Structure 1
Amino acid sequence: MTDGTPISDPLAPRDAAIAGFALDGTVKGVPPGARLSLADIASQGWRLPEMPLPLAVLRVDVLRRNARWMAEFAQRNGLSLCPHGKTTMAPQLWNLQLAEGAWGITVATAHQLQVARRFGVKRVIWANQPIGRIAVDAAFDALRDPDFDLFVLADSLAVVEGLAAGAARAGLSRPLNVLLEVGAMGGRTGARTVETALEVARAIAAAPGLALAGVEAFEGLLSETAQVDAFLGTLVATARACAAEGLFGTEEVLLTAGGTAFFDRIGPRLAAAGDLGRPVRRVLRSGCYLTHDSLGYEQAYRRMRKESIGLDYPPGDLRAALEVWAHVQSVPEPGRAIITCGKRDISADTGWPVPLRLLRDGDLAKAMPFGAFHKVTGMNDQHGYLIGPADGLLRVGDVVVLGVGHPCTTFDKWQVIPLVDEGFRIVGAIRTFF
């Protein structure tokens, strides 16, 4: 490595497609006039805030702690962790999660599956229905690698029909593992009743080239813990019904759920399934824990710790690792500042960004926390509106550090995101593959 990073470091850009990724001023966040590869970033001596802003950054010490914390949480509570790779679409970050003990990586599309395979992931849950010949054939093509394990979803007879046709085309000796998906009324995909789910399960079990491997759900769109608990109860009831009919066709049964807002409910609720006649693996698919956030997931985490439903939590807490830095470019009215960060730079789908700290004259040692009265109240493509007391605090040229909500839709705005240490020196970077 040109930057001296130990090759054992999972964040190191080991693959040529990442390490050799050519960077110049046409790549967002790279200084004008620079010409280098991603692997060379750490040796440049760059430091915040002396970079083109806006800039998304990852606090590498927090990132590593979050990865270790969630791996330990899963281990302490009898869960396997298969985090959503779509959150970051960054193979270096997947490597970190796998190095910390993740059982596999979850994807949602055929494209994401290809990225996972390309960068050496060996176990994937495709937490979606493969629809259309290209997607279905991509699933069976992955099975040609004897060292690769894949699970896909089905929630209807039509999906099973498409998968069975793909199995016939592929002519493989090993079956495709299919997870029966259950869903909530008014929600997203998934069979809505145990009776409907059983119909689908029977079709999977009867189809040559397919094996019913377990039951899956996504609870992340629900808003209350009581709703989540009831929904996971449906998953458990469905698994018991499948077991009673002898429909499972794999050595162990997967029971899996997992957004990040309710990861505390998954273990205890899935444990209620009891004996299903063969070993049961309870799989948590949370992805946003890795960077956490400053809005919804932080609130959800505080709710979890307050309710404390008998879980074994590791020491410490999840913390926000992803930030976006921007300049104040105009103070056109008292109490109203325009910042150089908009919807092209940071997520806004779950709430406006949170102003965290203010820096003046590049002095990191004198960074000031924002008070409760400073808020981002809107954004355009490249501008944000920061409102606060008419006290003259904000000046043109100041640097504003913003916390994000829903990290997924910040990651997808950046090809390259620098890794910064505790002194905000840039010590590397990750590449995304959206």
Structure 2
Amino acid sequence: MQSMALAVDKGSVELGPSLLGGVSLPAAVVHEGPLEHNLVWMQRFAEAHGARLAPHGKTTMTPALFHRQIQAGAWGITLATAPQCRAAFAHGITRLLMANQLVGQANMAIIASLIEQGATFYCVVDSQENVRQLGRFFAKRGLILPVLIEVGVPGGRCGCRTQQQILSLAGTIAEEPALSLAGLEGYEGVVHGADPEAGIRAYAKYLVDVAVELEAAKRFSEPEPIVTASGSAWYDLIAEAFEGAPLQGRFTAVLRPGCYVVHDHGLYRDAQSAVLARRPDLPDGLEPALEVFAQVQSLPEPGLAIIALGKRDIGHDQLPIALRRYRETGTPEQLLSVDGWEVTKIMDQHTFVRLPKEALDVEVGDIVAFGASHPCLTFDKWRQLLLVDNDLNVKEHLATYF
């Protein structure tokens, strides 16, 4: 008789089995209820602040989730590289914001092809040389490339460091017939210091002020140019700055958080707590939707459990957290305790858990749900994840395209 086990370690998926009795573990899992909550929550947040939402797709590189975001009202999808844009477009996403410089003729060719096929595409620029390279390439293809000037900070990542550099670059773009200046882009996550909140507020104001100045100088090619920023930690401060009077009705304000879609049990959980502390008027909050299910593999000595879960399976910039435990072939209601469980070490395919003295009922084969920090670093380990309902039954497989 053929086995009913469902292999999910980079293979194909049939639908229907339970995580507790029909799935080869470990498996990366997205919980449907929290996912739907997060989609609605962030879309409402953006709309309440007069902004559009272009979620950063690099978090998941999962077209099925992109489409859920679009269906919830997202304006477009943000990506980081030309191949990511190609993957998203191949799966029906037509408005692409590449929050990165487009460098190299091979990458330019990918984007030119997408534009020729009907994609609406934006990328960022921060140097005279890149502007000239793009101008030459897209002129030869007979295409117009919309670009956004990236506004950086000293000591940060990419982006123009001074207002004079921004104004000069706008002039150079105007000299390139194949380019159009569609707006400004920034990323506040590179702002650091003793008081990051104050620094980010100042950066957001600067971004808005420069946009208004360029508009007054008639540098933009579009009637409502784009002003965009926001990662997944400080989106509330960016939204507040964009909501101000200088942008209302004159610009298209675009927020770009990505991790919100599944949230997490670490970095962004803490960031969300800070958002809610700053904004007590906000209802509820985001909910963690991503977990990795794995089994107890060995109980080699008292107080130690080895889990069949490793760096190949789950993000580990912070150690995973044991959330819940089940008996294999049990039911979701039959929860077993993980109180006092402490993950102490993670290897390629093994996780070490220190057990409390009271943990006398742990058995080889027990199924443990783990939470992780920074969902990007879990998604990119899987060719597919499993969407499950409240009963832990598989409803859909979510293919990734990293």
TM over 0.5: yes
- How many angstroms apart in 1 are the aligned matches of 2:343 and 2:384? 25
1:417 Cα deviation from its structure 2 partner: 1.1
2:147 equivalent to 1:178: yes
One of 399, 402, 426 as aligned partner of 2:367: 399
- Shift in alpha-carbon separation, 1:247–1:391, aligned structure 2, 3 A: same
- Shift in alpha-carbon separation, 1:60–1:207, aligned structure 2, 3 A: same
Number of positions where the alignment pairs a residue of Structure 1 with one of Structure 2: 392
Letter in 2 for 1:343: K
2:48 equivalent to 1:76: yes
TM-score (norm 1): 0.85
2:125 match = 154
2:238 match = 266
2:288 equivalent to 1:288: no
Q: Is the 8 A contact 1:198 1:241 kept in 2?
A: no
Q: Deviations over 1:190-237 (max 9, x none)?
A: 112222222222211221111111111112244532222122223223
1:256 match = 228
Specify the SS of the correspondent of 2:239: helix
1:334 Cα deviation from its structure 2 partner: 3.0
- How many angstroms apart in 2 are the aligned matches of 1:368 and 1:298? 24
- How many angstroms apart in 2 are the aligned matches of 1:93 and 1:345? 20
Identity level (%): 39
- How many angstroms apart in 2 are the aligned matches of 1:275 and 1:133? 35
Q: Is the 8 A contact 2:276 2:285 kept in 1?
A: no
1:168 Cα deviation from its structure 2 partner: 1.8
Specify the SS of the correspondent of 1:423: coil
Letter in 1 for 2:325: L
Letter in 2 for 1:289: Y
- How many angstroms apart in 2 are the aligned matches of 1:254 and 1:285? 12
1:352 match = 319
Specify the SS of the correspondent of 1:103: coil
Letter in 2 for 1:130: L
Q: Deviations over 1:58-91 (max 9, x none)?
A: 1112212211111111111111000111111111
1:21 match = none
| Long gaps (5+) in structure 2 | none
2:105 match = 133
- How many angstroms apart in 1 are the aligned matches of 2:175 and 2:344? 55
Q: Is the 8 A contact 2:315 2:372 kept in 1?
A: yes
2:299 match = 331
Specify the SS of the correspondent of 1:242: helix
- Shift in alpha-carbon separation, 1:86–1:337, aligned structure 2, 3 A: same
Specify the SS of the correspondent of 1:326: strand
- How many angstroms apart in 1 are the aligned matches of 2:373 and 2:223? 40
1:25 Cα deviation from its structure 2 partner: 7.9
- Shift in alpha-carbon separation, 1:387–1:144, aligned structure 2, 3 A: same
One of 12, 20, 34 as aligned partner of 1:49: 20
- How many angstroms apart in 2 are the aligned matches of 1:387 and 1:197? 54
- Shift in alpha-carbon separation, 1:243–1:369, aligned structure 2, 3 A: farther
- How many angstroms apart in 2 are the aligned matches of 1:227 and 1:333? 50
1:324 Cα deviation from its structure 2 partner: 0.3
1:27 Cα deviation from its structure 2 partner: 5.6
Q: Deviations over 1:6-47 (max 9, x none)?
A: xxxxxxxxxxxxxxxxxx9886166xxxxxx65xx22xx310
Q: Is the 8 A contact 1:334 1:392 kept in 2?
A: no
Specify the SS of the correspondent of 1:214: strand
1:7 match = none
Q: Is the 8 A contact 1:136 1:162 kept in 2?
A: no
Letter in 2 for 1:317: G
- Counterparts of 1:229-248 in structure 2 under 5 Å? 229-248=201-220
1:370 Cα deviation from its structure 2 partner: 3.1
Specify the SS of the correspondent of 2:123: strand
2:342 match = 375
1:352 Cα deviation from its structure 2 partner: 1.1
Q: Deviations over 1:262-281 (max 9, x none)?
A: 111111112347059x7211
- How many angstroms apart in 1 are the aligned matches of 2:261 and 2:122? 23
1:419 match = 387
- How many angstroms apart in 1 are the aligned matches of 2:334 and 2:236? 38
Letter in 2 for 1:70: M
2:352 equivalent to 1:385: yes
- How many angstroms apart in 2 are the aligned matches of 1:181 and 1:366? 52
Specify the SS of the correspondent of 1:430: strand
2:402 equivalent to 1:431: no
- How many angstroms apart in 2 are the aligned matches of 1:262 and 1:429? 31
| Long gaps (5+) in structure 1 | 1-23, 31-36
One of 366, 371, 376 as aligned partner of 2:334: 366
1:297 match = 268
- How many angstroms apart in 2 are the aligned matches of 1:112 and 1:322? 22
Specify the SS of the correspondent of 1:83: coil
Q: Deviations over 1:108-156 (max 9, x none)?
A: 11111111211111211011101011112322332223x4311110011
Bigger RCO (CA 8 Å, 6+ sep): 2
- How many angstroms apart in 2 are the aligned matches of 1:231 and 1:334? 53
- Shift in alpha-carbon separation, 1:420–1:275, aligned structure 2, 3 A: closer
Structural RMSD (CA): 2.1
Q: Deviations over 1:376-405 (max 9, x none)?
A: 222111011112423334432222110121
1:58 match = 30
Letter in 2 for 1:294: H
Between stretches 147-156 and 361-370, larger displacement belongs to 361-370
- How many angstroms apart in 1 are the aligned matches of 2:226 and 2:40? 23
Specify the SS of the correspondent of 1:252: coil
Between stretches 408-417 and 196-205, larger displacement belongs to 196-205
- How many angstroms apart in 2 are the aligned matches of 1:222 and 1:338? 40
